[in-house]
């Protein structure tokens, strides 16, 4: 996820969340950003290998690693968005037939 989008998500979370929730949010943000940075590095290395600076085996290894990182990035971003939704949503009242909230 782009760093600007990460920042938008973080700022959308209320300041009044507890320390455990804040720690979970920070862990998700750091993992997502770290995955993005690693994917960028591997993408650059792959480009160099395909420009003739490496062997074909190295290029295949890098392409495989990049594929895995891109898949993990999607999973990390989805988890982060889910957590942000959880932290920013207001609890809904459940009403039964008698109209009394639970």
How many Cα atoms are found within 13 Å in the side-chain-facing hemisphere of 87? 25
97 pLDDT band (50/70/90 cuts)? low
Nearest to 46, CA basis, from 35, 37, 54: 54
**Model confidence, pTM:** 0.79
- Count of residues making up the chain: 102
Residues 51-92 have pLDDT tens digits of 999 899 999 999 999 999 999 999 999 999 999 999 998 665
> What is the rounded CA–CA span in Å between residue 25 and residue 31?
10
pLDDT digits (tens, 9 = 90+) for 6-41: 999 999 999 999 999 999 999 999 999 999 999 999
- pLDDT of 93 reads 56
Which bin fits 13, alpha (ψ -120 to 50), beta or left (φ > 0)? beta
């Amino acid at each position: 996820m782009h760093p600007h989008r990460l920042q938008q998500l973080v700022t959308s979370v209320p300041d009044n969340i507890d320390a455990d929730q804040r720690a979970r949010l920070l862990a998700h943000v750091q993992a997502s950003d770290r995955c993005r940075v690693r994917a960028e590095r591997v993408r650059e290395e792959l480009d160099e290998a395909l420009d003739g600076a490496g062997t074909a085996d190295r290029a295949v290894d890098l392409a495989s690693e990049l594929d895995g990182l891109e898949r993990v990035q999607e999973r990390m971003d989805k988890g982060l968005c889910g957590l942000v939704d959880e932290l920013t949503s207001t609890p809904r009242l459940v009403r039964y037939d008698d109209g009394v909230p639970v």
